[in-house]
Homo-oligomer: A and B are copies of this chain.
Amino acid sequence: MSTHAHPATLDLAATLERLGARMTAPRRRLAALMERWAGAFSPEELASALPDVGRATVYRTVKLLTEAGVLCRTGLPDGTPRYSVDQPHHHHHLVCVACGRVEPFDDPALERAVRDAGAGAGERLVGHRVELYYRCERCTRDAG
């Protein structure tokens, strides 16, 4: 619904402030990097993109933001961990099996089907996760 085209740079930083965390340079740089990252990333990738920020800080910040709910942990089919900036609303992921890029998407019909499936199982659902694996345009092209 919202059409704020630029949720950008302030979201993660704002979240950190909301948490009562201090606004330090490493955190600011990490937040900016994550927000401009196309798709999903691993802590390791962040760390090598910011060599002068300690790995520990990278992991601590990712953990902080994940617990705050603004980062979302995903993974490739083989379990390789990836994080992405979470949408404010519930959604799922389109994961490229070649490059690991993650696109969020949501689909009301799918949500309904998931809810129904859970009802069919007759259980106390607390959440769900849907991942569609594909080969993105770029990777398809690159592979010839």
Contact = CB atoms under 8 A, between A and B. Distances in A.
Identical subunits present: 2
Interface in A77-129: 77-79, 81, 92, 94, 97, 103, 105, 107, 109-110, 112-114, 116-118, 120-121, 123-129
Contacts of A124: 134-135, 140
A68 B89 CA distance: 38
Given A107-B117, A110-B113, A133 B125 contact: yes
B135 A118 contact: no
B97 A107 contact: no
Interface residues of A, number: 38
Contacts of A114: 110, 113, 130, 132
Contacts of A92: 117
A131 interface: yes
6 contacts: A77-B129, A113-B114, A123-B132, A126-B134, A127-B133, A129-B131
Interface of A: 73, 75, 77-79, 81, 92, 94, 97, 103, 105, 107, 109-110, 112-114, 116-118, 120-121, 123-137, 140
